[in-house]
Structure 1
Amino acid sequence: MQDARIATGLSGHPKTKKLIRTLGQAAAWNLICLITWAAANRSDGDLSGMTVEDIELAADWLGDEGVLVAELVRVRFLDQTEAGYALHDWEDHNPWAAGAEARSEKSRWAALCKQYGRPEAAKRMPDYAKRIGFESSSQPEGLPESASGTPVADSGSAPSPSPSPSPSPEELKSSLRSDSSSAAPDDASPDGGKGGDKAQRLAEVTDEAIAAWNASKLVKPNGGLLATVNPAVGRENRRNQVKRCIAIARDICREQGHQRIPAEFWAEYFAVAARDDFHAGRQGGGRGHERWMPDFEFLTQPKTMLKLFERVESEETA
């Protein structure tokens, strides 16, 4: 479903009031029409190549030609660029729509990798492969293999809130999938830790994760919107929850040169989540789930950790 974010303060914003004072209340509706049109057709907010008439048609403007665009520029709902026009601060106000094209491209790449393997995917999407640092000529044909010799499917997304800048996202994905299915709670310690050592280490990592959560900007005592976690309640459930994502967290830390998951990892991870409206609870779920809020359990799901890493990785390589 394509949609656009409309800030609750838009109706009372001085720019909106200036627009209405000059062109009437209907102009506010034209602004909304332009925003939703852009989300569906120019998801990056860039209107370059469109004439003034094109923009006003997209906004359903029925007045004199050029009047609406001129006023939108004056009050700074539109920016004039060398290439034409762009919606002001679009990425800040509509980050989900702004990333639509990138998400579509990544999904297509993942699907091609899963069906044909990375070298063939690189042939079909050479520009994307080059951007992520994958060179098909330097890779063997066929899917990469795990240590056991089993081909590894090259799809999905890659992990880590604070990744090493050197490996590409696809290289990280391959290395993670080769062993992330064994969520060993020993933290991949040099001696391989067994039995009681593994259980003790899992308890330590869980306690560190909970402490970082309660100290993060996500939770209400620190200015966030989410509930704190009582470390004395549901300890076994929390450990099982953390155990599910510990393999991914461990591999992330290995890429950064750590043999074990440091307590700082969780602080950095939750800090990444706090910067995102959806994962911090500032933006509700989809239709029918508007009041849904994330929690500790949601943010320690493997797929959530992967998604947040992918976002950070794309920001660092942009």
Structure 2
Amino acid sequence: MADAKVSDARISTGFPGHPKTKKLARKLGPSGPLGCIYLFLWAAANRSDGDLAGMSDEDIELAVDWAGQDGEFVRAMADVGFLDGAEGSRIIHAWADHNPWAAGAEARSEKARWAALCKQRGRKEAAKLMPEYAERMQDAEHDCANGVPPAVLDGAGSTPLAENGSPPSPSPSPSPLEQKQSADADSSTSSGAAVDADPAAGAEDDKAGADHGTGDLLGDQQQDKPPRKAMPPCPHNEIIALYHEKLPALRSVQSWTDTRAKHLQARWREDAERQSLDWWGRFFDYVAKSDFLMGRKNDFSADLEWLIAPRNFAKVIEGKYENGGRA
């Protein structure tokens, strides 16, 4: 759950005419789209990553002051595609695309704190106070030296350090990509996946073997200590290409946002076995066998963002969505 607070949210001027909005209005009347807007605003202020995990359906409806029948609003939101996941682990669909300013609040807050500490106390002292962030920066420079595109590495690099708080213009909600593919889309990678966002450097708070206080970047190298084995950089673009190759029936990746990059980096770092393209190829082959994940069982189908989200990823590798299992 994101801790950073956001005071505004962005709603597209095309929201009233979006097919999901129209379906919601048909199901619930005018109060349905209004409740959706209320939920976007509430999430921006209280769950800036769009993750509603831990909230019951009743909690969600209380957050938007839903006055209709119990469960009616959340059920309709899930039916039309504004909400993903089951009760207790719901997330707003493609929140990072619809509301990137709110979704990136935590990364901006962390970067601003780092910049302030560096200015006040110097980089070495800042690294002692924010060791995980410092290590992620070190890993990012290591990845960059190994040829990973900076657009995938330097997450907060394009976020202004100024304290005026004026947000850049984010993508609207709902995303135009859900209505029509733009004819002048951003430059694609060799796999066809456009990288149009600056993902946050490093991963989630995954506590993956940090050796804090060492490394040239921090100016605190211990010469008498053997260097730790370097972790191979996460090949974001190659994994995206594998996803497209192995799972062409699922929704393709059109943008690589901060949240998506952080989740994939975290899944890569959590287990040494996952630090190879062979493992990800086998993972996508496994997903392809699931009727539920592939949309052969109902209207739901997974996508890469959904698959690498921490709660969903754990359920997939634990076999929850195998055919004949519980979905």
Shorter-chain TM range is 0.3 to 0.5
TM-score by length of 1: 0.44
The structure richer in helix per residue is 1
Larger Rg: 1
